[in-house]
């Protein structure tokens, strides 16, 4: 047991006669580690992109709600009356009449 650990620390398993299969395994593990690192970097980029897009959606939703509330205030009848008084128009005091048209079939 002690001799095996000493051989591993010394690196004799890399230069012995059957070292080719050891090197294949080490290269395989190294490639897997590189793939894992690349995958984690890719996932991190996607997470940051999702967070950025979520913030953008929140800002756009806020701007939409703000614009909608401004529009609702602008189309209120009292605001329209004030705006039209400046232009010389006033609301009618006579209610509208319904016009009935009979078809000539």
Q: What is the pLDDT of residue 83?
A: 85
DSSP label at residue 78: H
2-28: pLDDT as tens digits: 777 877 777 776 777 777 777 888 899
Contact 22, 14 (CB under 8 A): yes
Average pLDDT, the chain: 89
- With respect to residue 68, please indicate whether it lies within any of the assigned structural domains: yes
The structure's pTM equals: 0.56
Contact 13, 19 (CB under 8 A): yes
CB within 8 A of 91, min separation 6: which ones?
Answer: 81, 84
- With respect to residue 94, please indicate whether it lies within any of the assigned structural domains: no
- With respect to residue 67, please indicate whether it lies within any of the assigned structural domains: yes
Q: What is the pLDDT of residue 89?
A: 87
Split at pLDDT 50, 70, 90, the class of 42 is very high
- With respect to residue 57, please indicate whether it lies within any of the assigned structural domains: yes
- With respect to residue 26, please indicate whether it lies within any of the assigned structural domains: yes
DSSP label at residue 95: P
Structural domain total, the chain? 1
Domain span at residue 77?
2-86
Query: What token pair was written down for 90?
Result: 């006033």
Residues in the chain: 105
């Amino acid at each position: 047991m002690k001799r095996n650990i000493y051989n591993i620390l010394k690196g004799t398993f890399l230069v012995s006669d059957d070292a080719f299969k050891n090197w294949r395994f080490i290269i395989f593990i190294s490639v897997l580690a590189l793939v894992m690192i690349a995958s984690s970097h890719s996932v991190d980029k996607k997470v940051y992109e999702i967070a950025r897009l979520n913030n953008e959606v929140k800002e756009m939703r806020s701007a939409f709600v703000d614009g909608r509330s401004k529009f609702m205030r602008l189309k209120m009848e009292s605001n329209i009356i004030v705006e039209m008084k400046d232009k010389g128009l006033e609301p009618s005091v006579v209610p509208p009449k319904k016009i009935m048209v009979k078809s000539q079939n």
